[in-house]
Chain A
Amino acid sequence: AQSVTQLGSHVSVSEGALVLLRCNYSSSVPPYLFWYVQYPNQGLQLLLKYTTGATLVKGINGFEAEFKKSETSFHLTKPSAHMSDAAEYFCAVSGASGTALIFGKGTTLSVSS
């Protein structure tokens, strides 16, 4: 069984500040981990993913995440927030072989000027 916990349903930062969105996972098999962003009334856009190999993963729009197996974490960071980063962010986990992604409850990121 797999699950995802996103700590903090709402994160507020100032433009230019560090963004840190937290994600912890539980998985009985080696996990595949994902971060998605969703804008209102739209589908999901993949930011980045971890499958195997390098534990520091770089994604689009300056985001990156680090897979830490010992901490069962996959936190998302961005050095400098931009107003356009304001959106809903979802962390997800899956096993291999075509299984469904299981999503966390999401974190709303607000960016103020």
Chain B
Amino acid sequence: GAVVSQHPSWVICKSGTSVKIECRSLDFQATTMFWYRQFPKQSLMLMATSNEGSKATYEQGVEKDKFLINHASLTLSTLTVTSAHPEDSSFYICSARVTGIDTEAFFGQGTRLTVV
């Protein structure tokens, strides 16, 4: 199946700093990528939908100025957590659906963010 690579797999940062998470589709082009957040022992909550070449669509309650999403190419989307605070600590997972083969979503390995 198609591969989605997410980097880094874990990161620790200080409060007030920004962290960038990359999501790459390695062997396919993804017109649309999705970013999810998962709190411990909870489900995946959709944060935003990222479309190549256009602004991301954020779900209600997600701060677009805090969680900056860029989808500059068909194989790369980035999530930047700006001015991170401890409450932003979470597991972030990206997903991509294959253009033209629209029945499956492929997921990255996830990024464990810890803000200290």
Q: Are A and B a genuine interacting pair, yes or no?
A: yes
Partner of B43, one of A42, A100, A106: A106
Stretch from A15-23, A43-51, A65-73 at the B interface? A43-51
Number of chain A interface residues as a range? 20 to 34
Give, as a whole number of angstroms, the nearest-CB distance from B75 to chain A: 16
Other-chain contact of A96, B31, B95, B102, B112 (Cβ < 8 Å) = B102
Known A98-B31, A104-B43: A42·B109 in contact at CB below 8 Å: yes
- Is the CB–CB distance between B46 and A100 below 8 Å? yes
Interface centre among A44, A96, A106, by most B CB within 10 Å?
Answer: A44
Q: Which of B41, B44, B102, B109 contacts A103 (CB 8 A)?
A: B44
Minimum distance in angstroms from B30 CB to a CB of chain A: 9
Interface of chain B, main secondary structure: strand
Asked whether A42 lies within 8 Å of B102 as measured between CB atoms, the reply is: no
Chain B, interface size: which category? 20 to 34
Q: Which of B28-72 touch A at CB < 8 Å?
A: 31-32, 34, 36, 41-44, 46, 49
- Smallest beta-carbon distance A68→chain B, Å: 19
In the bound complex, CA of A43 to CA of B91 (Å): 10
Which A-chain residue is minimally distant from B51 (CB atoms)?
A98
Is B34 touching A101 in the complex (CB atoms < 8 A)? Answer: yes
